[in-house]
Amino acid sequence: MTRIPWMEEYPAGEALAEIGLPVTGSLVRAIGSIESSDVLRANAEEVLLAIYKGNDPAAVGILRQAAKKASDAVTAARLFESAIRLARKCFPDWRSACEAALH
């Protein structure tokens, strides 16, 4: 894995990315939680992208599906906002697939 610049400041992010798919549920919960700070949410989004490196639309889709299943409107909105942010970060070749994952 190539080093992502913010990972020196937040080494747990690198460890979570190395663990991979088993941590996605925890990342999604952190992203959707009203108790999570903006920094925590942003880092969780970046780790999710690192885990799905090579398949950005899947990362967007995970958040979109979680938003649809959320038990309350605030959590759903936070997850959907994160899905939109991730879709905007998708590589140009995947942009249309990432946008499709939002729907």
The answer to the question of residue 2 being in a domain is no
The answer to the question of residue 3 being in a domain is no
The per-residue pLDDT for 53 is 87
Give the pLDDT confidence of 4-54 residue by residue, as tens digits.
555 677 788 888 988 999 999 999 999 999 999 999 999 999 999 999 988
The answer to the question of residue 37 being in a domain is yes
The answer to the question of residue 5 being in a domain is no
The single-letter code of the amino acid at 102 is: L
Tell me how far CA of residue 77 lies from CA of 11, 13, 36, 63, in angstroms.
28, 24, 14, 11
**Where in the sequence is the domain holding 59, given as residue range(s)?**
11-101
The answer to the question of residue 42 being in a domain is yes
The answer to the question of residue 6 being in a domain is no
- Number of compact structural domains in the chain: 1
Q: What is the DSSP string of 23-71?
A: GHHHHHHHHH-TTS-HHHHHHHHHHHHHHTTT-HHHHHHHHHHHHHH-S
DSSP letter at 90? S
Give me the long-range contacts of 7-11 (CB less than 8 A, separation at least 24): 10/43
pTM here is 0.88
> Mean of the pLDDT values across residues 48-68?
94
